[in-house]
């Protein structure tokens, strides 16, 4: 069963198209990552899914229903926003108890969820006295109070230290495995998503550029990636793009270049890259093939789409 179905979603802010004919679905029990650059339309998409924004066009259904002002959906969905805000002058445990009463769950659940995020020691603290990281943890505890079937999180780990991040990812994995909670997670921190997600939607310029099971996307975009470590990655990549027609996709950062070539041309690439490097006096530090990271998958998918 699809928990979220978005079809042809579009949203404009004045002349800016934030989301353009976006299609997305999220299956029961899955952990789906929403990745894309700043301004890609991730937050707008999430807001439309949560019924905070009305789409200009298209349809979004959550648990088969329109999410706008829908109280039934709110009882089944937990929400973590990028910037979490709560009534500032209330104490954490006191406020979570209130949330328990709102959702009609036992008040003892308040302490349980604080323990889940390791925040029990701050139970007597006012919300305004929490640090940014603690506030984010509190937001996650707040989202767990009513044991939702789906948690939608926008940049959930943005304000957390590495230790807290890995703890939270463990919470995600545990809830998904033990309680079959589905997650829709948007994040810029791709290594994190690769640890927990089974599906990924790559969003760029308001559209879904690639969407599917991670294994399928690796198959499609990231098999046969060759990494070239060099001290002049941008210049060498420009040469490669200009002179090697059998290179299907390429992408570079300061440390090196990732390329995919037409099948059977791998050996040619080694020789040609060495020649091109020599011509522009670039130093080759290493060339290797291997499995791609989510970061590389993301960039190769973007490059592939842009060249279409």
Partner 1 sequence: MGKGKPFLEVLASAIHEDFRFPFLELFAFFYALGTFVFASFTVGLSSQITTNEAIAYSVTNSLIGGSLIVFILLILKNVAYGLGNELEKGIIQTYFSYPLRRRGILTAKLLSAIGVSLLLFLGIQISALYILAPDIVFPNLGTVILTYAANLSYPLLISAIMLLLTLKLRRGGMGLVVGIVLYVAINIASGIAFFVAVSTKSPLAFQILSVISPTYALQYHYGGLSGISDIFSVPWVPTLSEALLYTGASYVIVASLFVLAYVYFSRRLNL
Q: How far is CA 123 from the centre of its chain?
A: 30
Site string for partner 1, 42-71 (x = CB under 8 A): -----x--xxxxx--------------x-x
Q: Does 132 bind partner 1 (CB under 8 A)?
A: no
Cβ proximity to partner 1: between 106 and 290 the closer is 106
Cβ proximity to partner 1: between 143 and 228 the closer is 143
Please work out the total of residues on this chain that contact partner 1, with binding judged by CB under 8 A.
32
Site string for partner 1, 86-115 (x = CB under 8 A): xxxxx----x--xx-xxxx-----------
Cα 155–156–160 angle (5° rounding)?
105
Nearest distance, CB of residue 13 and partner 1, angstroms: 10
CA separation for the pair 137, 92 (Å, rounded): 11
Q: Does 72 bind partner 1 (CB under 8 A)?
A: yes
Nearest distance, CB of residue 18 and partner 1, angstroms: 11
Largest CA distance in the chain: 71
CA separation for the pair 130, 99 (Å, rounded): 18
Cβ proximity to partner 1: between 50 and 197 the closer is 50
Site string for partner 1, 136-175 (x = CB under 8 A): ------xx--------------------------------
Stretch of 17-25, 77-85, 280-288, 300-308 contacting partner 1, by CB under 8 A: 77-85
CA separation for the pair 22, 118 (Å, rounded): 37
Q: Which of 284, 302, 293, 308 is nearest to 225 (CA)?
A: 293
CA separation for the pair 158, 139 (Å, rounded): 12
CA separation for the pair 164, 178 (Å, rounded): 21
Q: How many CB atoms lie within 10 A of CB 1?
A: 7
250: which residues sit within 8 A by CB, 6+ positions away? 237, 240, 241, 257, 258, 259, 260, 303
Residue whose tokens read 């810029």: 188
CA separation for the pair 43, 83 (Å, rounded): 12
Cβ proximity to partner 1: between 24 and 143 the closer is 143
Nearest distance, CB of residue 304 and partner 1, angstroms: 34
Cβ proximity to partner 1: between 123 and 194 the closer is 123
Enumerate residues 186-215 that contact partner 1 by CB under 8 A. Answer: none
Cβ proximity to partner 1: between 73 and 203 the closer is 73
Q: Does 75 bind partner 1 (CB under 8 A)?
A: yes
Q: List the helix and strand counts (H, then E) for the chain.
A: 11, 13
60 neighbors 67 (Cβ within 8 angstroms): yes
Nearest distance, CB of residue 4 and partner 1, angstroms: 16
Enumerate residues 7-46 that contact partner 1 by CB under 8 A. Answer: none
181 neighbors 175 (Cβ within 8 angstroms): yes
Locate 62 and state its tokens: 């959550």
Stretch of 83-91, 187-195, 205-213, 283-291 contacting partner 1, by CB under 8 A: 83-91
**Which residues form the interface with partner 1 (CB under 8 A)?**
47, 50-54, 69, 71-72, 74-75, 77-79, 81, 83-90, 95, 98-99, 101-104, 142-143
């Amino acid at each position: 069963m699809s928990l979220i179905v978005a079809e042809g979603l579009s949203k404009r802010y004045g002349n800016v198209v934030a989301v353009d004919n976006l299609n997305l679905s999220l299956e029961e029990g899955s952990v789906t990552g929403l990745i894309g650059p700043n301004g890609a339309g991730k937050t707008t998409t999430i807001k439309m899914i949560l019924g905070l924004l009305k789409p200009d066009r298209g349809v979004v259904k959550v648990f088969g229903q329109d999410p706008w002002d829908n109280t039934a959906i709110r009882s089944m969905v937990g929400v973590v926003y990028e910037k979490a805000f709560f009534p500032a002058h209330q104490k954490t445990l006191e406020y979570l108890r209130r949330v328990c009463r709102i959702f009609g769950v036992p008040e003892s659940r308040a302490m349980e969820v604080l323990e889940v995020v390791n925040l029990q020691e701050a139970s007597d603290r006012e919300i305004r006295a929490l640090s940014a990281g603690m506030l984010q943890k509190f937001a996650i505890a707040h989202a767990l109070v009513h044991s939702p079937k789906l948690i939608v999180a926008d940049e959930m780990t943005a304000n957390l230290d590495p230790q807290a991040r890995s703890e939270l990812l463990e919470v995600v994995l545990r809830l998904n495995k033990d309680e079959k909670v589905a997650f829709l997670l948007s994040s810029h921190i791709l290594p994190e998503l690769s640890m927990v997600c089974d599906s990924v939607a790559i969003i760029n310029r308001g559209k879904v550029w690639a969407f599917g099971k991670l294994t399928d996307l690796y198959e499609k975009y990231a098999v046969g990636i060759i990494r070239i470590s060099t001290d002049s990655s941008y210049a060498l990549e420009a040469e490669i793009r200009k002179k090697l027609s059998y290179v299907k996709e390429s992408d570079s950062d300061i440390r090196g270049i990732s390329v995919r070539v037409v099948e059977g041309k791998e050996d040619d690439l080694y020789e040609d890259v060495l020649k091109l490097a020599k011509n522009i006096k670039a130093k080759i530090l290493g060339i290797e093939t291997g499995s791609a990271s989510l970061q590389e998958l993301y960039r190769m998918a973007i490059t592939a789409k842009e060249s279409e």
